[in-house]
Structure 1
Amino acid sequence: MIEELLPGLYRIEIPLPRSPLKALNSYVVKGKDRFLIIDTAFNREECWQPTVSALRQLGVDLNRTDFFITHLHADHSGLVGRLATPASTIYFSEVEAAVIGGGIGEGEAHGHWRDMAQYYLANGFPREELEMALQGHPGRRYSSRQFIKVTPLRDGDSIEAGDYRFVGVLTAGHTPGHMCLYEPEKKVLVAGDHLLIDITPNITTWLELENSLKSYLDNLEKVYKLDVALVLPGHRRLWTDHRKRIRELQEHHRNRLAEAIRALESGPKTAWEVAPYITWDIEADSWADFPTVQKFFAVGETLAHLNYLEGEGKVKRESRNGKIYYSLA
């Protein structure tokens, strides 16, 4: 689906097969001399074909196209390696660029996955299930296979495309260097996965970001202050009242923090043992019935909440027999 949102600004809805996210919103800005594409979908044919078809309909010349990627997840960066040409500039937040070693592509993330596997094992994730989760993880299956150097942007740096002058807004939390784009004159916020309306962004643990939930909540307040008339999210529908949604997201995380505390009232637990106590928006009768990849996401988000509570002095952790246990302080 192609939709003109404002003069020269388009949304392409790219399907994400067998993903609860359903689709990615990729945005295209048409200028006189160059084009800007904001976010690309998974590196898989089911995403590639509708992408190139839509770009062809819009008259986009990839030899005159630059890219801005809001964050490193494969459902936003996966196709950029195939779409970019030697004439393209690929913008990424400076923080995120450092995390991925200065470029997108096969090979740069192997150490990350190895280290994350060890961390999840220490937090109680059963080895066999973890191996299944990593094999099926979309970030491993559908990331870019071409190594592409990126151009880093700092908080406050700008990108001009057509009649638009976007300012980068660093919004760490969903990933270590997630970045939104804000157009102050037109009051448009390209939110990536920092703000979503029909679903809540996954705030997981990151070895590269201490206390990811605190960063996320702090950056919700940062974005709250912006004057926004239209929110362009990475998934699902667009909306206008970003401040109302921010208050809803804050309440959502307060409820999850309370659930984590209640889980620990009966004694110390690993993050794997706490996760079933949290309310998840997954169609499953019990924790045992969760898809394995969704368990990986759930444990990561549980860890983010436990680490936040530890930072607030409400929870403490200790290591016993190679496992990390959380308990009430």
Structure 2
Amino acid sequence: MAENASRNAWAEPGSYEVTEGVFRIPLPMPNDGLRAVNVYAIRDGDGFTLIDSGWGVAEARAQLDTVLTELGSDTAHIRRFLITHAHKDHYNLGTHVRAEHGTPIALGAEERPTIEALQRADKSPMITQQHLLRGTGATEITAKFIEMVGDTAVDPAEWPSPDRWLAAGERIPVGAYDLEVVHTPGHTSGHIVFRDAANGLLFAGDHVLPHITPSIALEPRTPRLPLGDFLESLRRIRELPDTWLLPAHGPVTSSVHERVDELLEHHRARLEVTYDTVRAGARTSAESAAKLTWTRRERALSDLDVFNAMLAVLETKSHLDLLVARGELTGEEHGGVRYYSCS
């Protein structure tokens, strides 16, 4: 089951048998930031059930067609899609296949408000991020971000509702496997993972990734403490017996626990250094973010592109807000901007 774990080898096109009847299929994305998204195909009767579907672009569809042909199947024999969360690289190619073949799609029930928001043609999918950015004091980044995304409304045709909403705790028999739905909010409010306890597999979506930490709450609605939700979800997964990690981005690895421990430690340390920025005089999320370094290369905020600078400032906000909730900082709003200070 173990794969070449070099940082980029996992994204090479093809199909990779994880265990008997379970294939990892990397599909390309229309940007090179994450390189690819893993779709998992599980043999299910005379076809396959797919966990996640890929981004609805021609390159991804062509690659999926090629791989399924090599496996002796085709998109007409996809029995269903089980989707971890409502982001384009996970959801949208499945809606294209459904339009052709009627293939049912299932999505976590807590993603319903997100889907309904995306179906409103008068709303930009980035309106929430624009509003949050204004409150961080990141004036220049906000202006550049608004210029980049504009007020373009989301196309509701790209976000049809699923055929079924999945509840936490549901069991889904898929071929030789028995998948349990586990609600893991954080990356999105309705993110779910699929766990096969008997075979020691966790189809983790973006909840646990081997090389990077997932963004928090990049969605049309934002919970009060998305980082708190994410850390609690990680702890919940950590309390379960260990399994193989089958992530959406990156290679398959042998231990969910090992990576969860790394993520928990990363955020513990990040909370500490974020607190230190306030103690050193930063008052807003933007000022704190500017005092931190970003990515494994430890880049400055000013060196990031507009989209990733937006993510960095909002991630800093999530850490600051959690510190406020823990009583370590105080936060007050003045003129639409949230200011932090040591308690």
Normalising by structure 1, we get a TM-score of: 0.89
In the other structure, the counterpart of 1:203 is 216
**How far did 1:179 drift?**
0.3
User: 1:37: which partner in 2?
Assistant: 50
For structure 1, the residue ranges without an aligned partner over 5 or more in a row are: none
* Residue 8 of structure 1: aligned partner: 21
Moved more, 14-23 or 3-12: 14-23
* Alpha carbons of structure 1 residues 163 and 6: separation in structure 2 relative to 1, 3 Å: same
Q: Which amino acid aligns with 1:292?
A: V
Measured in 2, the distance between the counterparts of 1:187 and 1:168 equals 14
**Contact 1:284 1:290 (8 Å CA) reproduced:** no
Q: How does 1:159-170 map to 2 (within 5 A)?
A: 159-170=172-183
Equivalent position to 2:34, from 14, 17, 21: 21
**SS of equivalent residue, structure 1 residue 149:** coil
Cα-to-partner distance string for 1:190-232 (whole Å, 9 max, x where unaligned): 1111111122222347644221111111111111122233210
> Deviation at 1:315?
1.4
Overall identity of the aligned pairs, in %? 27
Task: Indicate which of 272, 277, 294 corresponds to 1:258.
Answer: 272
Please list every run of 5 or more consecutive structure 2 residues that lacks an aligned counterpart in the other structure: 1-13
Structure 2 CA distance for partners of 1:210 and 1:150, relative to 1, 3 Å? farther
Q: CA deviation at 1:116?
A: 3.0
Rounded to whole Å, the distance in 1 between the matches of 2:235 and 2:116 is 29
Residue 24 of structure 1 aligns to which amino acid in structure 2?
V
Name the structure 1 match of 2:318: 304
Provide the residue aligned with 1:287 in structure 2. 301
Map residues 161-200 of structure 1 onto 2, 5 A cutoff: 161-200=174-213
Say which SS state the counterpart of residue 236 (structure 1) adopts: coil
Provide the C-alpha distance between the structure 1 equivalents of 2:318 and 2:137, rounded to a whole number of angstroms: 15
Q: Whole-Å Cα distance in 2 between the matches of residues 325 and 168 of structure 1?
A: 39
Amino acid across the alignment from 1:179: I
Q: Deviations over 1:294-321 (max 9, x none)?
A: 1111112111111111110111111222
Contact 2:119–2:160 (8 Å) recurs in 1: yes
| Whole-angstrom distance in 1 between the partners of 2:271 and 2:92 | 32
Other-structure match for 2:110: 95
Partner in structure 1 of residue 9 of structure 2 = none
SS of aligned partner of 1:173: coil
TM-superposed CA distance for 1:155, in Å, is 0.8
TM-score w.r.t. the length of structure 2 is 0.86
2:292–2:300 contact (8 Å) kept in structure 1: no
Residue in 2 that maps onto 1:55: 68
| Structure 2 SS opposite 1:92 | strand
| Kept after mapping to 2: 8 A contact 1:78/1:142 | no
Partner of 2:86: helix, strand, or coil? coil
Q: Which residue identity does 2:287 align to in structure 1?
A: E
Match for residue 5 of structure 2?
none
Whole-angstrom CA distance in 1 between matches of 2:149 and 2:44: 41
* Residues 117-196 of structure 1 aligned to structure 2 (within 5 Å): 117-126=130-139, 127-134=142-149, 145=158, 147-196=160-209
Please tell me whether the aligned partners of residues 75 and 97 of structure 2 are also in contact (alpha carbons under 8 angstroms).
no
Are 2:141 and 1:113 equivalent residues in the alignment?
no
Q: Which residue of 1 aligns with 2:10?
A: none
Matching residue's letter, 1:87: G
The answer (yes or no) to whether the contact 1:264–1:326 under 8 Å persists in 2 is yes
Greater shift, 200-209 or 259-268, is seen at 200-209
Q: Which moved more, 1:194-203 or 1:235-244?
A: 194-203
Q: Is the 8 A contact 1:268 1:328 kept in 2?
A: no
- Is the contact between residue 71 and residue 177 of structure 1 (CA under 8 Å) also seen in structure 2? yes
Alpha-carbon spacing, 1:322–1:200, altered in 2? closer, same or farther (3 Å) = closer
Residue of structure 2 aligned with 1:228, choices 215, 226, 242: 242
CA distance 1:322–1:61, change in 2 (3 Å): closer
